[in-house]
Structures are given as structure tokens and as C-alpha cells.
Structure 1
Amino acid sequence: MTTKIQQVGLALLTAGLAFASVPAGAATEADVEASFNPYQGGFPSFPGMAPGLVINKANVEQFKDAMDAGQYLAVKNGWTEMTVGPTTQFTLTKYYIDATRTNLNKAKLGEKTGQISGFVAGRPFPEEPQESDPRAGEKIAWNYKYGINWGDNAAIYPFYWKYRNMTTGQVERTLKFNFHFLNFKHRVQHAPVPEVTPNPSELFRGIYLTVLEPQDLKNTQLLIQRYEDDLKFDDAYLYLGFQRRVRRLATGQTTDAFLGADIMIEDFEGYNGRISDMKWTFKGTKNILMPYYNHNELKLADDLKEPDGYKFVDFGGQGGCFPNITWQLRKVYVLEAVPVNPAHPISKRTLHIDAQVYNINRTLIYDRKGELWKTFTIGKSHPDHHLPVNKGTGIAIDDSFSVVDVQAKHCTTGQFKGQVDPKLNPPSLFQVQNLRGGD
């Protein structure tokens, strides 16, 4: 018969062995739950802030700490106003969450930035980032790269860009595109799972776009092929319809203004480069206003017509450079990305990454002198308040963008018709041989 002391000792020993079976620093099921539902303890609040509040030049100081520096500048200068909406859950697809659980703690960082091993699918590092962890920024970057932006495959079909003079409001140029996205590997939902085969080049992801209008750019096409090995440079190809030839882009050309816009290829989706191209630093967690909303509840634009009656997000403010949307107070990770290449045209990006969705929705871009150059907004609609094809997908829908050059007083705005539809994205679209097919 054991004594009371022996029973207590045995219980402590059992508990100790159980604890020892979980590696130090390993993510737990509770970490997964908190990562995908950061609001399980309630939504964030800010003194004096409630849905319906309009933040403008007159009251912006009161709410300065609830917005990033670039958005504060825009409101303070009277360029735009912000309407606060209720914070809501953007619950991601169960397939991605389940993949995270199944593959918990398999992903490991390599010795060099850009090296990872053991990753299968889902969110590789779901544990809460800590500023004391010197590689926390790198882990956040991997969570973004292997995130669920557009899911396994989706299209923006069509996609309007407008180049605007911020001082006069003149729309200098309107481009109409189709954009396509496909994950070759780490797929979780749409067949084929887990990867597209054959894939002899070991590609991770492809982006393909074609210009539909205006006539002088019609049939211009861009193909970006990102390799599974992050240390390999992306392949990028441009087909210019008027030249009728495909040319491979030099690595540096991804940081040029794309087709004369205020955006570079490296800016696509918030950041469209390699992990190894940047030095990543986690700058902390904040609750700030983010461009998350329900598309169908906004006052939408009437100037662009779609056969199915779909309406695009409208723009207003100074020069028509700012989306007419509502903003949610959300949990955000602040991440600094400094280019490794000293010849890079920017000194750093400050990325504001939504803690639940892990997409980049507010970016501040600084010039070589360290001064604020551009601010970048990517608006997100809840999929259940968008097109019928997106309902129930668990994919937060990219729905509007605005890149504002605060130095040149110029902007490029984007209006999306995003569709999570595998049929629009056959793997053949993402091959170099496809680029001449539009002639």
C-alpha cells in the first residue's frame, strides 16, 4: 500500500514525464486554437471607439494609437477619413487549420534565412511570436508565405488598376487585367492534394496575369514562378503583345515600377519576394484599425459594369486615392523587412500582418534615405459577404488596394473581382509555353 506522500510523488513524476514528452518551446494545441481564433477571449476595444465612428482630421489625435503611422498621416493631412466597423471573425478554411494541427512542430528553421525543413502544410509556426525570439520575424514571414492568401488557387477576374494624380484627381490611365494564382505544393483543399504533378522544376507557387485593356498594352502577360527552395531566385517572364516575344526579367526588374504604376512586382499581395531577400524583425503586437469589411454592405462603385451585376469597391478622399470601406480594430503583428541587397530601391518595409488571417494588409515603404515613400492598403472582404462562389470558402477575399506615393502625390488603386474557383486556374496557365497563347 502506498502512502499519501508516495502517491503525491508518483503524481508529480507522471506529470513531469508528460511535460518532458513535449519538447521545450514546442507549439501546443492551445497555440493552434489561439492562432486561428485570437478573439476567443473577446474582441479588442479602444477608448471612445465604436462601430459607425468616423475618424477625421478633427479627432484623429484621439485615435492615433489605434492606427499605423501611414494611416495616421493620411487622416491628419485631411486626405481621407476612416469609418469604423465592428470587429468580426475571419475564420479560415478548416482544411488549412486541420493541416496545421496534423503537422504541428514539423517545420524547423534552417541555419540561414530562407531555409526551412519538415514543412508539410498549414501554418508552420502557430505559436505566439515573442520579441525575445531573435528569429520570430522570420517565423512570421514563413507563416505569411505558406498562408492561405487566395487558398490553393484563385483568380481576380477582372482586376482594374487606375493611375491617379492625387493633387488634381485626374485618372491618368485605367488598366484591366485577369490575375491567376496557383499553389503547386502544400495544397490542402482543392484537387490535386497535396501537390500538382508533374512538377519537375519543384515550383511552390505561380502567378500569371494578362492585360485586357487598354489597347496599347493588350495581351501583355507576366508569369512568376516561385521555387520551393527559397534560396533559388524566382523566374519571371514578360510577354509584350506589341513585340510578340517573351523575355525573361532580370532579378532587379521586380523592383521597377510595373507598367508605370506606383507598385512593383515585389509588392504584389503585400510582399512578393523570397524570405531570403530580407532581414526580418518582429516589432511587436498591436491592436490597430485594419481594412477588413463585408463587401456587400459597402456603398459600391457604379462606373464599372459586370454582366452578373457585381459591383466593385469605390474610392474617394484626396485624388480618389483611398478606398471607401469600413475598418476593423484587429490584432496585428508588426514586421520589419530590410532588403539584404544594398542596391535595393527601398530601405525597409513595415508590414502589418493580421494575426488571424496572416495576410499583409497595411504596408509602409521607406525610400533609401529612410523617409516614408509609399503606403499600401489591401482591403479584405469576408467571403460570406461577397460573390456566391466565395461563400463558405474560409478564404478572406482581397477586394481593393491603394498604393499612395506620399512624396510624389500620386497613387494607383485596384478594384477586384476575386473568385476562389479552381476551374479558372489550370496548371497549364503557369508555364512559359502559355505566354504566346493570347495572340
Structure 2
Amino acid sequence: MTYIELLRAGCVGLSLLAGSAFAAVTPEQASQLGNQLTPLGAQKSGNADGTIPPWTGGLPTTTAGVDKDGFLPNPYAAEKPLFIISSKNATEYQDKLTPGQLTLLKRYPDSYRIPVYTTHRSVNAPDKILAAVHQNATSTELVEGGNGLENYHLAGVPFPIPKDGLEVIWNHIARYRGDSLKRTVVQASPQTNGNFTPSLIKQELAYPIGMSDYQPDEMSNILSYYREEILSPSRLAGDVLLVHETINQVKEPRMAWLYNGGQRRVRRAPQVAYDSPAAEGMRTLDDFDLFNGAPDRFEWKLVGKKEIYIPYNSYSLESPKLKYDDIIQAGHINQDHTRYELHRVWHLTATLRPGQRHIYSRRDIFIDEDSWQAAEADAYDGRGELWRVSEGHAIFFYDYQVPLYAAETHYDVLSGRYSVNSLRNEEKNAYQFNLPVSRKEFTPSALRATGIR
């Protein structure tokens, strides 16, 4: 069976960074939001040496308008790199790099590099989301075992002042990505010589609260709906995936269906989860978005916060002046078009639980404090050796106040191959936010009408 891809803070004391706690924070703790902390829970102040500035509200919606092809102007286009990290000087910066980044610098000493720019804390969210996040802070709790949420208001992060690793990974899973999102993007898994065949994919993501036929009682356990249709190449065109992502995954696990364009059949797809292979075997299904789905197979530990260089404000990487051939090359994407900045991240380790099955024995995930979006992820095989390194090249759609990825890369450091997805450089008007949607569009019966073959 062909698997199609699935889209799917500094005032907190050290006592809050250890152990598991299922209670929401107090109103007094929540009062830090918008004061010592940003409304989303990041440390509002900059760092001691000024290399990370204070948060002052992020980029406003009025920063610039989209062009005729739907691309956002780069607000930092005039900036040049402050310095470039390469294999030759990596030891000078190793305290601000992940093990995965250091491995990529060593694996590709002549081509992989990290251009570092001035840090801009560009992220914010719409007012209604900020209000929901504040409400979540004092109401949302983890279900027993941490594999779901209770009393969650269907928008934004559930735990802006997190106590443990499970709460942080749930913030990444549930973060705001628009009321609804439709996009057409390209994915590729190049061979070791750089040759690739792009897959053009139409993806749709919607949250119940933004739907015209929203029914709180009937949809109370739905976190989001996701639908994906492969448009090309022709051998895959017409395959459609539908996912209902649940909030309490103990009560009701993720539900998924596949429509096979050749057979014209809709089937339940329980394998669309965890470590099922995707992108020609270059990643797992739960690698997408650097992590998605149920967290129950791993023990999550919150190591704490640290400052590292992460991909950020990646407007140049999605420039319409670039072709996919300019980006996709042998070994890794063309790092000349990337941008890294120094930011504070939450560092999580996920260790496989005894008795559970997964091809990864451990994951290290680094989540941006301002957006709650994962920026780097390292995955280790059963022997405990680093196997895959993922990078999320963040971009902020300031017109809708939505953080996403301009590109998402998954590097197999053993085979020398990788996958890259979410590219849209050659697609016109590829993104549409907050369009009217109905849950009727996300039913199994709607899949057959979607297929094109």
C-alpha cells in the first residue's frame, strides 16, 4: 500500500520542569501571561548579552501585503549573515547547536553550513487565540497518562506555562495554524546524487471551532480535520487521505481513511500513525511536522530551556525567484537560501516506553518558545545511534498571524538521503487561510468525490 503523507517560559521555576503534573496553573500564575511572559508563554525579556531581543509584539498584520502570486514580502530582505557556521568553525559554536546539526556539519563538511542572522522575535497570534490561550492556562489538564486533553478550548496552545515534557509537546501538537488552511505544496525525496521527482500535494487542515456547521457536543473530541490529495506524479495522483485528529486519544484514537484512486475504494487506515514509513522511507508518519499524533509510546522529559541557532524567518527559502532545482540538491537542501537565528527553545527528550514498539529508541526535540513550533528534532535508532535529523524552517505568515514552515527537512545521516516538504516556490497562490469550511468536506463519503482518477 502506498502511504501518503500526513500533515499533519523563563519565569517558570525549575520545580516546574520535572515530573508529571496534570493540574492547570492558578490564576496568579496565569497573570504572568502578557506581563513577564508573552501572551503565548515565552519569556518576554531578551537575554543578558542582547543577542536575543525582548519580545515587543511580533510582526503586525500590516507589515506588507501579499503579491499577485500570494507570496509575502520578506521584511528582512536587506539583512546579511552575521557569520556562517561551517565544519571548520563548528567547535566555536557547539554549545548553541544540536547534536543533529553538528552531525550534519561533519557529514557534509564542504556544503552544509549554517548562516546566522540577527534575531527577530516576529511571532504573535490573533487576539481571539491569545484569549483562548489565557483561558486554557487555568482550565486545561492532561488526561490520565497524558495522552489527551480535558477542558481544552479549541484554539491555541493548551499549556502556555508548562510543567513537564508532555505539556510542551501538546503545545506543539495543538498550536494555532489558522482557523482553516488550504495549501498546495511540493515534497521530494532526492537520491544520493540529487535526482528527484517532485510530488504535488493539496492539503487541507480545519479546526471544528472555525466551521460553519460546528456542533460542540458532536465534535467535542475532535482537535482537527485533515485531508490530503496527491496531484502528481501520475502514478500516485488521485490518492486521498482523511484524518480526524482527536483531543482525548485514550477515549478515541486518531481515525483515518484512504481513498485509492486506482481501485476507487475508501478504506480505514489505522496504519496512518506512529512509525509507519513515509516519503520513500525517509521519515515516519509521526516525523511530519517534526512530531505529530499520539505521544503515548514515549516517556517525555523536559530538560529545560537553552539558546540555540534554529531556522527562523525563512522568507528567502520560499522566494518565487527560486526553482525547486535551486533548493533540492544531493545530501541536503541548498543552505545558501536558509536563515538561522539565536532563539530560546524548550528541549525535550522522548524515550521509548518499555513494551512499546517504534523504530526510534529516543528523540530529542527542540521547540521554539515564541511559537511552540518544533525547530529541530534528532531521532536515534535501536542501538542508540543518531539516525535522522529534522529541521523546520519557520516562517511567520504575518498577514494572518500564523507560524508555519517554509520547508521541513528530514535527513537520514546514515544513508545520505533525505526528504523535504512544504515547498511552494513554483506554485501560485498556494496558501489560503480561514476559508469557510464544513465538516461535510471531511467525511469518508466525501473522499470518493475528491479523487481525480
2:150 maps to 117
1:350 maps to 364
1:223 and 2:233 are equivalent in the alignment = no
1:378 maps to 392
> Aligned partners of 2:364 and 2:189: how far apart in 1?
24
2:97 touches 2:309 (CA, 8 Å); kept in 1? Answer: yes
1:179 and 2:208 are equivalent in the alignment = no
1:105 and 2:138 are equivalent in the alignment = yes
Offset, 1:350: 1.1
2:191 maps to 165
- Match of residue 414, structure 1, among 418, 421, 427: 421
Coordinate RMSD, CA, aligned: 3.0
2:187 touches 2:423 (CA, 8 Å); kept in 1? Answer: no
- Match of residue 55, structure 1, among 85, 103, 112: 85
Offset, 1:394: 1.2
- Match of residue 113, structure 2, among 81, 85, 97: 81
The amino acid of 2:160's aligned partner reads P
2:44 maps to 40
> Aligned partners of 1:239 and 1:336: how far apart in 2?
36
2:366 touches 2:374 (CA, 8 Å); kept in 1? Answer: yes
Offset, 1:346: 1.3
More helix by share: 1
The amino acid of 2:242's aligned partner reads L
TM-score (norm 1): 0.79
Tell me: CA distance 1:100–1:92, structure 2 relative to 1, closer, same or farther (3 Å): same
SS at match of 2:139: coil
Tell me: CA distance 1:342–1:275, structure 2 relative to 1, closer, same or farther (3 Å): closer
Tell me: CA distance 1:151–1:298, structure 2 relative to 1, closer, same or farther (3 Å): closer
1:379 touches 1:399 (CA, 8 Å); kept in 2? Answer: yes
2:380 maps to 366
Q: Equivalent residues in 2 for 1:64-79 (5 A)? A: 64-77=94-107, 78=109, 79=111
2:445 maps to 433
Q: C-alpha offsets along residues 209-249 of structure 1, whole Å, 9 cap, x if unaligned?
A: 00000001001111111123221221121222122212222
Listed as ranges, the gaps of 5+ residues in structure 1 are 1-21, 305-311, 385-390
> Aligned partners of 1:424 and 1:416: how far apart in 2?
24
2:71 maps to none
The amino acid of 1:371's aligned partner reads E
1:154 maps to 181
2:361 touches 2:380 (CA, 8 Å); kept in 1? Answer: yes
> Aligned partners of 2:103 and 2:207: how far apart in 1?
37
SS at match of 2:32: helix
> Aligned partners of 1:98 and 1:253: how far apart in 2?
32
SS at match of 1:382: strand
> Aligned partners of 1:178 and 1:44: how far apart in 2?
44
Offset, 1:74: 0.9
1:334 maps to 347
Offset, 1:61: 0.8
The amino acid of 2:46's aligned partner reads G
> Aligned partners of 1:424 and 1:261: how far apart in 2?
35
> Aligned partners of 1:120 and 1:24: how far apart in 2?
17
> Aligned partners of 2:445 and 2:98: how far apart in 1?
43
Tell me: CA distance 1:94–1:342, structure 2 relative to 1, closer, same or farther (3 Å): same
The amino acid of 1:93's aligned partner reads P
> Aligned partners of 1:28 and 1:197: how far apart in 2?
26
1:80 touches 1:317 (CA, 8 Å); kept in 2? Answer: no
Greater shift in the superposed pair: 321-330 or 228-237: 321-330
1:313 touches 1:415 (CA, 8 Å); kept in 2? Answer: no
> Aligned partners of 1:296 and 1:302: how far apart in 2?
9
2:286 maps to 266
2:389 touches 2:410 (CA, 8 Å); kept in 1? Answer: yes
> Aligned partners of 1:323 and 1:176: how far apart in 2?
24
- Match of residue 243, structure 1, among 263, 266, 275: 263
Tell me: CA distance 1:37–1:248, structure 2 relative to 1, closer, same or farther (3 Å): closer
The amino acid of 2:241's aligned partner reads L
Tell me: CA distance 1:298–1:274, structure 2 relative to 1, closer, same or farther (3 Å): closer
Offset, 1:24: 6.6
Compare CA radii of gyration and give the structure with the larger one.
1
> Aligned partners of 1:253 and 1:140: how far apart in 2?
20
Offset, 1:269: 1.3
The amino acid of 2:118's aligned partner reads P
Offset, 1:199: 3.7
- Match of residue 139, structure 1, among 157, 161, 167: 167
1:400 touches 1:415 (CA, 8 Å); kept in 2? Answer: yes
Tell me: CA distance 1:111–1:199, structure 2 relative to 1, closer, same or farther (3 Å): closer
Aligned length: 387
1:233 touches 1:251 (CA, 8 Å); kept in 2? Answer: no
TM-score (norm 2): 0.77
2:407 touches 2:421 (CA, 8 Å); kept in 1? Answer: yes
Greater relative contact order (CA < 8 Å, ≥ 6 in sequence): 2
Listed as ranges, the gaps of 5+ residues in structure 2 are 1-23, 52-79, 425-429
Identical columns (%): 19
SS at match of 1:30: coil
The amino acid of 1:81's aligned partner reads R
Offset, 1:402: 1.0
